[in-house]
Structure 1
Amino acid sequence: MTEFVGEIITLTIMAAALGMDAFSVGLGMGMYKLRLRKIFEIGLVIGLFHVIMPLAGILAGKLLSENFGALASWIGGLLLILLGVQMIWSSFQKEAVSAITPAGAGLLLFAFSVSLDSFSVGLTLGIYGAKTVLVLLIFGILATMQTWAGLLLGKKVRSWIGTYSEALGGSILLAFGIKLLSTFW
C-alpha cells in the first residue's frame, strides 16, 4: 500500500511540474478578455492533451522497455534531465508576443505545445512500467486545474510569475531525471 501511495505522490509531483507550462500559458491567456465558459473549455482541452500525449509516450516507452531493457531506462532518465534543463533554459529566454488566440486551431496549438513535454515523461513512465490509468488521471486532472488557475490568476497578476513557474517545473523534472540515473551509479 505504501508503494502505491509513493507512486501517487511521485506522479502528482511530476504532473504538477509538467502542468507549470499549462499554468504559465494560462497566465498569458488570462490577459485576454475571456468568459468563464471559455476558461472552462481551454482548461478541458489542455487537460485532454495532457492525457493523450503521455498515453502515446507510455505506449512507446513500454515498447522500448520490452525491446531494450536497461538501456531504455537510462534513456528515460536522460530525457527527463534534458526536458528539465530545456524548461529552465526557456524560462529565462525573452518571450515573443504571440498573435495566436486561445480559440479553434490556436487553442489546439497551445494545448499541443504545453503538453509535448508530457510525451517525453510518458515515455519514461512507460519504460519504468507506471500504472497507465493512474498516470493519465493525475496528469489530466492536474493540467486542467493548473490551466484554470493560470487563466483566472492571469486576470489579476502580471506575467512574470509564469517565467518562474516554468523554471520550477523544469527543476523538478531535472531532479527526477538525476534520481532515475543515480540508480545506475
Structure 2
Amino acid sequence: MSFLEIFFIGIGLSMDAFAVSICKGLSTRKLQLKHALICGGYFGFFQGFMPLIGYLLGVQLKSKIESIDHWIAFILLALIGINMIKESFEDEESCHTEFSPKVMIPLAIATSIDALAVGVTFAFLDVHIVSAICIIAITTFIISMIGVKIGHVFGTKYKSKAELAGGIILICMGIKILVEHLHIFG
C-alpha cells in the first residue's frame, strides 16, 4: 500500500476519535492546549498500537487464509465503515468532561477497536507495519487535536459528518483492495 492509501485509512480510522474529541472540546469550558494534547496523545497512541496487535495476529493466520485475504480485508473494512455510517445517524451520546486516564483510556480503546481489525488486513496486504502505524498515529493525533478545538468553537455540528466520512473512506478502501486483487479493471 502506498503512503497515500495508508494516510486515507488513517483519516478514516481517526474519525471516531475526532468525533469524541469534538465532544471533549464541547464539554470544556476553558480550553487549554493540554486538553488537545491529551486527546491527541491518547487517541493517537491507541490508533497506532491497535493495528500493530492486529497485524501480529494476522501474520499468525496469513498462511492459513492467504487465498481469501482480499475478501477478509474487504469485509472487515466494509463492516467497520458501515458501522461508522450507522453511528453517524444515531443520537449524540453524553460527553465526559474529565481528561483523566480513567476516562481517556476506555475512550481511546473504544475508538481504536476498528484499527485492530485494520491491522489484521495489513498482514494480508504485506504493509510495512512500522510506517503504517506511524502514519495512522500521527494522523489521529493531529485530527484529534483539531477535533477538540472544533468542538469547543462549533459544538457537535461536525461529529456525525466526521463519522459518516470515515465510514465512506473505509468502505472505499475495502472496495479498492478487492478490485485490485480480483483484477477487475486491469
TM norm. shorter chain > 0.5: yes
- 1:166 matched to 2:163: yes
Cα shift readout 1:63-118 (whole Å, capped 9, x = no counterpart):
22122212233212111111111110111111232457332211001111111111
| Secondary structure of the structure 2 residue equivalent to 1:30 | helix
Aligned residue type for 2:166: G
Alignment of 1:96-115 (within 5 A): 96-99=93-96, 101-115=98-112
Q: CA deviation at 1:40?
A: 1.1
CA contact (8 A) 1:77 1:178 kept: yes
The residue aligned with 1:41 is 38
CA distance in 2, matches of 1:172, 1:100: 30
Instruction: Indicate the larger mover: 28-37 or 127-136.
Output: 28-37
The residue aligned with 2:49 is 52
Aligned residue type for 2:118: V
Aligned residue type for 2:63: E
- 1:7 matched to 2:2: yes
Aligned residue type for 2:20: V
CA distance in 1, matches of 2:39, 2:161: 22
Q: TM-score, with normalisation over the residues of structure 2? A: 0.90
Aligned residue type for 1:167: L
CA distance in 1, matches of 2:59, 2:113: 18
Alignment of 1:22-41 (within 5 A): 22-31=17-26, 32-33=28-29, 34-41=31-38
- Return the match for 2:66 from 65, 69, 74: 69
CA distance in 1, matches of 2:123, 2:97: 33
Instruction: Indicate the larger mover: 110-119 or 70-79.
Output: 70-79
Q: TM-score, with normalisation over the residues of structure 1? A: 0.91
- 1:135 matched to 2:132: yes
Aligned residue type for 1:64: L
Aligned residue type for 1:105: K
Q: CA deviation at 1:58?
A: 1.0
The alignment covers a number of residue pairs equal to 180
Aligned residue type for 1:9: L
CA contact (8 A) 1:65 1:73 kept: no
Q: CA deviation at 1:15?
A: 0.3
CA distance in 2, matches of 1:100, 1:117: 24
CA distance in 1, matches of 2:168, 2:157: 17
- 1:19 matched to 2:14: yes
The residue aligned with 1:177 is 174
In structure 2, stretches of 5+ residues that fail to align are none
